[in-house]
């Protein structure tokens, strides 16, 4: 009986999906699911949800709940992390960078905000890994926490933990592309590789034929990708422009992609033109999500047992049963993508079976795509080194190299901004020199 641990279970948007996904597999219903969070109130909420869905289906799954991380990890087979350090409001560092005109979107993956977000989260993930090395050394860590590439790189270089970084941008984008192409989502075939939030649909096929010519033809009509409901994040103009300029479709949403390149957020006019920072249509607040979950727990309606697009349970099922599966994962580049730096974090197709996770060789990316990826990888590398070495200079250099930040600010302005970000985040940056 596998012990599956969710750390940061109070992040119940993820946790709802992950718990439900596990229970869709009959072979996993005799598992123990241990829910752990340092925040008691949201932990109670997701625990009640998990116990209700188990009870209403008559499953034998054991649901445990604890605020003690060591207790949760003891004897674990699989550890899924969805943590957020601090409260649910934007970080103080992001507020500073917004004042300077950058990080106007999410700011949790790259850029000045992403680097400082990593400075919050990498140490917390390191603590989890140290516990895993002692309490469950053979367990798999599946991380969902951002900044994905920075965290995965740090885990690979500074721990002994078997790990993979998981993100839903590939299946979400595949669904969006099927909509743009006007075909059933299940009929789309693809091969995707690059880095997290900037991976590329290197192959896109429908009924055995290259679907890119059809997509280019469809994108001659701007309403296809520019409408308010073009995809779940609204207008998709940024990704359409990247596709037209560089020849391949990228995985992450337009509002994220606009943060990773220097073209779309240089001025209020360009932001408005490309709709680079639109709020997700109908996006709910955390309080609204809490209330919806509470109502779902308290009413008499049966909770649907439906699988989401998250990869975690797919991996667990394949390892437990030996039934092979494929997914896109964030792993160490050991020659997998030959024109990206050795040792960086790449997102590539992975096969998984009873023996574990097997990343696939991709070879060279088209040079223009590798160049875009490398512009982000340089920031990630310096961020990892700066965070692990508590080095202010490397953190500054990471931000100086960020494509968007360097397009908006001068060197002196970036230095001033980073200095103020350190002051704003002093609670988390005490050891930096």
Q: In which element (H, E) is residue 67 found? A: none
Task: Quote helix, strand, coil % in the chain, to nearest 5.
Answer: 50, 15, 35
The full length of the chain comes to: 433
205 found inside a domain: no
pLDDT at 277: 79
Distance of CA 84 to the CA centre of its chain: 12
Cβ distance 94 to 116 under 8 Å?
yes
Q: Is residue 385 a part of any domain in this protein? A: no
CB 325 within 8 A of CB 314: yes
> Parallel, antiparallel, or unpaired for β 209-210 and 140-143?
unpaired
The reply to whether 203 falls in a domain is no
* Distance, CA of 308 to CA of 357 (rounded, Å): 21
List the domain range (segments joined by +) for residue 27. Answer: 3-168
Report the pLDDT value the prediction gives residue 30, as an integer from 0 to 100: 96
Q: How far apart are CA 289 and CA 13, in angstroms?
A: 8
Helix (H, G, I), strand (E, B) or coil at 40: helix
Of residues 405, 264, 160, the one with CA closest to residue 395:
405
| 60 phi/psi in degrees, rounded to 5 | -95, 10
pLDDT for 46-103, tens place per residue?
999 999 999 999 999 999 999 999 999 999 999 999 999 986 666 788 899 999 999 8
Would strands 198-206 and 188-195 be described as parallel, antiparallel, or unpaired? antiparallel
Q: Is 128 helix (H, G, I), strand (E, B) or coil?
A: helix
Rg (CA), the chain: 21
Task: Name residues of the chain where pLDDT drops below 50.
Answer: none
**Best CA proximity match to 221, nearest among 208, 233, 197, 237:** 237
For residue 416, what is the enclosing H or E element? Answer: helix 411-424
Check: CB of residue 100 under 8 Å from CB of residue 113: no
Is 75 inside any structural domain? yes
380 in a structural domain? no
- Pair 165, 195: CB distance under 8 Å: no
Task: Please state, in angstroms and as integers, the Cα–Cα distance from residue 89 to each residue in 13, 86, 159, 285, 286, following that order.
Answer: 16, 8, 30, 11, 10
Q: Residue 19: inside a domain, yes or no?
A: yes
Q: Which two tokens stand for residue 353?
A: 């079976």
Which residues, other chains included, contact 79 with Cβ-Cβ below 8 Å and sequence gap of 6+?
Answer: 5, 7, 73, 128, 132, 136, 139, 140, 141, 142
Question: What tokens appear for 137 in the block?
Answer: 């050394």
Catalytic residue among 17, 121, 168, 358: 168
Reduced 3-state DSSP string for 301-360: CCCCCCCCCCCHHHHHHHHHHCCCEEEEEEEECCCCECCCCCCCEEEEEEEEECCEEEEC
CATH code assigned at 58: 3.40.50.720
Does 82 map to a domain?
Answer: yes
pLDDT recorded at residue 421: 96
Judge whether 168 counts as a catalytic residue: yes
Q: How far is CA 316 from the centre of its chain?
A: 18
- Burial zone of 36 (CB within 10 Å; 0-12 exposed, 13-18 middle, 19+ buried): buried
396 domain residue, yes or no:
no
Give the predicted TM-score (pTM) of the model: 0.95
E strand or H helix at 7: strand 3-7
Number of structural domains the chain divides into: 1
């Amino acid at each position: 009986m596998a012990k599956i641990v969710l750390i940061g279970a109070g992040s119940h948007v993820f946790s709802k999906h992950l718990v439900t996904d596990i229970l869709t597999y009959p072979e996993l219903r005799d598992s123990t699911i241990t829910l752990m969070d340092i925040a008691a109130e949201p932990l109670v909420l997701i625990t009640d949800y998990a116990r209700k869905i188990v009870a209403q289906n008559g499953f034998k799954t054991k649901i445990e709940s604890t605020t003690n991380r060591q207790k949760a990890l003891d004897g674990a087979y699989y550890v899924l992390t969805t943590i957020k350090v601090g409260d649910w409001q934007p970080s103080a560092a992001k507020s500073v960078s917004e004042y300077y005109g950058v990080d106007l979107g999410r700011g949790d993956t790259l850029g000045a905000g992403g680097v400082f977000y990593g400075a919050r989260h990498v140490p917390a993930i390191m603590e989890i890994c140290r516990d895993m090395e002692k309490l469950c050394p053979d367990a798999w860590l599946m991380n969902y926490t951002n900044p994905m590439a920075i965290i995965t790189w740090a885990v690979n270089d500074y721990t002994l933990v078997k790990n993979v970084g998981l993100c839903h941008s590939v299946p979400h984008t595949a669904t969006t592309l099927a909509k743009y192409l006007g075909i059933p989502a299940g009929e789309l075939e693809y091969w995707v590789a690059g880095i997290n939030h900037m991976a590329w649909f290197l192959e896109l096929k429908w009924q055995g034929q290259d679907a890119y010519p059809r997509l280019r033809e469809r994108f001659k009509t701007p309403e296809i990708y520019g409408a308010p409901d073009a995809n779940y994040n609204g207008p998709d103009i940024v990704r359409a422009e990247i596709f037209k300029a560089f020849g391949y479709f990228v995985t992450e949403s337009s509002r994220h992609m606009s943060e990773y390149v220097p073209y779309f957020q240089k001025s209020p006019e360009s932001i408005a033109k490309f709709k680079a920072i639109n709020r997700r249509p109908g996006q709910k607040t955390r309080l609204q999500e809490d209330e919806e979950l509470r109502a779902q727990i308290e009413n008499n309606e049966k909770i649907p047992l439906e699988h989401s697009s998250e990869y975690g349970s797919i991996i667990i099922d394949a390892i437990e049963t030996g039934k092979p599966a494929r997914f896109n994962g964030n792993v160490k580049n050991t020659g997998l993508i030959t024109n990206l730096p050795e040792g960086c974090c790449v997102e590539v197709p992975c096969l998984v079976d009873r023996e574990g996770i097997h990343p696939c060789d991709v070879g060279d990316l088209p040079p223009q795509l590798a160049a875009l990826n490398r512009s982000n990888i340089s920031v990630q590398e310096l961020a990892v080194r700066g965070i692990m070495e508590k080095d202010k200079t490397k953190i500054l250099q990471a931000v100086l190299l960020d494509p968007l930040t360097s397009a908006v600010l001068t060197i002196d302005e970036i230095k001033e901004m980073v200095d103020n970000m350190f002051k704003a985040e002093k609670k988390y940056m005490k050891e930096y020199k």
